[in-house]
Amino acid sequence: MTKKRAHTAAAVLFCLAATHPIAAQDPPTVTAEQFDGWMTDLNNWGRWGEDDRLGALNLITPEKRKAAAALVRDGVAVSLAHELLTERAPDNGRPLEHTMIDTGASPWTVDELKIPLSRPWPYPHGRSLPRFVQG
């Protein structure tokens, strides 16, 4: 599997996982033909040139930004900030962990932050792909 194909496969699997609650449903049954079709139809590699760094963000053009700004009515700012929860609770089974690793002799300090995802990624590597594909 090429690097581009592996990245596209990861994107497809992420979309499947994000739109299908894992605890509530079995993984969807996908045929090899469907999967291969997705790899071709949903592939954006090279769409904006070989040196592109923005990917699908290229779709947000100045015209799109202007149209979006025209939709503003009240000018209310909405924060997307989220308080980092550091204590275990019934609704926070995996809190943020902060550890100072080195506060020693050098002028530098070393910190380790473990920030768990709100929904764990159930497919840690490419070997999970066969779980989705039948045929």
Say what the pTM is: 0.36
Q: Quick check: is 119 in a domain?
A: no
Domain extent for 98: 3-114+129-134
Cross-strand partners of 30: 133
Cα–Cα dist 7/13, whole Å: 10
* pLDDT of 69: 93
pLDDT of res. 12: 63
Flag whether 102 is in a domain: yes
- Other CB atoms within 10 A of residue 93 CB: 8
Tell me if 48 is assigned to some domain: yes
**97's tokens:** 């962990």
Enumerate residue ranges in the chain where pLDDT < 50: 121, 123-135
Q: Is residue 87 part of a domain?
A: yes
Q: With respect to residue 80, please indicate whether it lies within any of the assigned structural domains.
A: yes
Number of domains making up the chain: 1
What integer pLDDT is reported at residue 134 of this predicted model? Answer: 42
Please tell me the predicted confidence (pLDDT) of residue 40: 85
Q: What residues form DSSP beta bridges with 112?
A: 99
